[in-house]
């Protein structure tokens, strides 16, 4: 009987001790939301949010810049940001980093991942895609399409527009008739082709 009483007391003591530890973990020393503090000059325990901060679950603004669509829910046909050389170079850089593994560096859909067995995406030089408005590309990058997932969490808004602009430049570069170029531009193209052909032949000979 005495042994049973001793065992019961030990069990109660362990239970009480464990409960106290668990309670301490729940009531850690920390500031509650909006609690005052003497650490910062304004008397608050939290710092103000950085300008432009939005909650992760908050939907984007319903503007052409953030959706790629007009108020009538149609794809925009012009960039909502200024187009300049810097934007195209940024788009080139981001396209090579995020898009070329599947779409290829020229947009033909023969990227390295495709060569290794991944399903080939439609070439950007396909007539349907050449005729697609620039807002369409922004929308696909933002929301995904087919086997392509959304890149909204990886590529900022401005960079998505930069990529869309660069895709348009790629399409133009691959589908512009030579005779529509000026004499100077045709000469530069011929010189570039000659250099490229010479390098290719040299590589083949090696």
Q: Which of 136, 130, 129, 132 is nearest to 176 (CA)?
A: 130
Predicted pLDDT of residue 31: 78
DSSP per position, 7-70? HHHHHHHHHHHHHHHHHHHHT-S-PPTT-B-SSSTTSBSSPPPPTT---TTSPPPSSHHHHSB-
Quick one: DSSP state of residue 77?
A: S
The DSSP letter of residue 122 is P
Contacts of 94 (CB under 8 A, 6+ apart): 155, 159, 162, 163, 166
Q: What is the pLDDT of residues 24-55, one digit of tens each?
A: 666 677 778 778 888 888 888 888 888 877 77
* Percentage, residues of the chain above pLDDT 90: 51
List the domain boundaries for the chain. Answer: 66-172
- Give CATH for domain 66-172: 1.10.760.10
Task: Tell me which of 65 and 11 has the higher pLDDT.
Answer: 65
Q: What is the mean pLDDT of residues 184-201?
A: 64
pLDDT band at 3 (very low <50, low <70, confident <90, very high): low
Contact between 174 and 109 (Cβ < 8 Å): no
pLDDT of residue 200: 46
What was the pLDDT predicted at 30? Answer: 79
Both tokens of 151, joined, read 């890149």
User: What value does the mean pLDDT of the chain take?
Assistant: 83
Q: How far apart are CA 168 and CA 174, in angstroms?
A: 10
């Amino acid at each position: 009987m005495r042994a049973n009483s001793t065992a019961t007391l030990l069990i109660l003591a362990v239970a009480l001790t464990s409960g106290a530890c668990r309670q301490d973990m729940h009531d850690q020393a920390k500031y509650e939301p909006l609690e005052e503090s003497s650490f910062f000059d304004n008397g608050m325990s939290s710092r103000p949010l950085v300008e432009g901060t939005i909650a992760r679950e908050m939907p984007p603004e319903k503007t052409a810049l953030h959706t790629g669509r007009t108020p009538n829910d149609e794809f925009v046909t012009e960039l909502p940001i200024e187009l300049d050389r810097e934007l195209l170079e940024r788009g080139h850089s981001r396209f090579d980093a995020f898009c070329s593994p599947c779409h290829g560096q020229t947009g033909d859909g023969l990227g390295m991942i495709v060569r290794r067995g991944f399903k080939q995406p439609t070439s950007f030089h396909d007539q349907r895609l050449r005729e697609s408005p620039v807002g369409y590309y922004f929308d696909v990058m933002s929301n995904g399409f087919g086997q392509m997932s959304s890149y909204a969490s990886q590529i900022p808004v401005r960079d998505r527009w930069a990529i869309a602009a660069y895709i348009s430049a790629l399409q133009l570069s691959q589908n512009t008739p030579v005779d529509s170029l000026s004499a100077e531009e045709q000469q530069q193209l011929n010189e570039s082709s000659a250099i490229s052909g010479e390098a290719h032949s040299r590589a083949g000979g090696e």
